[in-house]
Chain A
Amino acid sequence: MWWFIVTDGLLFAGFLASYGYARILSDNWPNPPQVFSLPFIAAMTFVLISSSATMAGAVDSAKRAEWSGAVRFVLATALGGLVFLGMQAYEWMHLIQEGARLNGNPWGARAFGAYFFLMTGFHGTHVLTGVVVLLSTAARAARRRSTATGVEMAGLYWHFVDLVWVFIFTLFYLL
């Protein structure tokens, strides 16, 4: 699983590196606080971090063979993922209404929109994949057909998605 995570991490490392390149050479990169609502992004971050904590709880329960607790924790994690996706969809719609496009935006450097939609889009796709993995893990665990290792692998992937968000949150929204 770690090998998958490292290679998937390389995908985001590539995105972040090219984003850094585009941002440094640009002299009119939009100022993030003027484009984004930081309290809203902070709330999204809170949801995702909390879902990582419930996933850790699920792995903990599964290792102790407390399957009903594990199922509840996994479902709570999936719910967190869905809330995060809903908030991201709202954020996208809001920015698109304000004129953000892949090839331009009202705030500055044209590349901003492309980097924003591609990076948050790829991350959001990972979240969506994670929710599907979590729901199938919950279904298997509810019928006692999952193993502690199975839950742990789903957990590793979910924490990785949270980890990527730490980087996007800092480098794209705060800097």
Chain B
Amino acid sequence: MAQASHTSHARVYWLTWAALLAVTLVMLLVDGAELSRGLLVTVLLVAMAVKAGLIAGNFMHLRHERSGIIWTVVLGLFALGVILWALMVPDAARIHDMVTGR
């Protein structure tokens, strides 16, 4: 039995596990459905972010960390993603158009 000072979080973990599997299943179903490319990419990226949040927040206990660590990890990685995206995607698209002559 759980001691009073350390209550078990097992319920949260199994729910997280079930949610992760459910989101993965949705992603596979969406991938097989006839969606437009833009919509598909959007849905998959949102689902990916949800899964990442579930793992980091519940399994890695990021939700219960000091707020300084939470903001460093979340904002730091988000800023990195935006910077890489803004620098690289337009350039890659430019080269793509140059090569394919569009």
Contact = CB atoms under 8 A, between A and B. Distances in A.
B65 A56 contact: no
B31 A174 contact: yes
A113 B100 CA distance: 22
A133 B27 CA distance: 31
A49 B17 contact: yes
A91 interface: no
A10 interface: yes
Contacts of A21: 88-89, 91-92
A13 B77 contact: yes
Contacts of B16: 53, 56
Interface residues of A, number: 43
B80 A13 contact: yes
B13 A170 contact: no
Interface string A114-156: 0000000000000000000000000000000000000000011
A89 interface: no
A99 interface: no
Contact of B44 (A6, A9, A174): A174
Contacts of B69: 2
A25 to B, nearest CB: 4
- Give the interface residue-count category, chain B: 35 or more
Given A9-B77, A163-B52, A17 B84 contact: yes
Given A6-B72, A57-B13, A163 B96 contact: no
Interface in A5-45: 5-6, 9-10, 13, 17, 20-27, 33, 38, 42, 45
Main secondary structure of the interface of A (DSSP, over half): helix
B6 to A, nearest CB: 5
Contact of A52 (B6, B55, B72, B80): B55
A161 to B, nearest CB: 10
B28 A25 contact: no
Contacts of B24: 42, 45-46, 49, 169
Given A49-B21, A162-B55, A166-B55, A20 B27 contact: no
A167 interface: yes
A21 B84 CA distance: 10
Contacts of A60: 8-10, 13
A54 B59 CA distance: 10
Given A159-B59, A174-B28, 11 more contacts: A2-B72, A13-B80, A21-B88, A24-B92, A42-B28, A46-B21, A49-B17, A60-B8, A60-B10, A163-B56, A175-B41
7 A-B pairs with the lowest CB-CB distances in the bound complex, closest first:
A53-B17, A24-B92, A56-B13, A170-B48, A25-B92, A25-B95, A17-B84
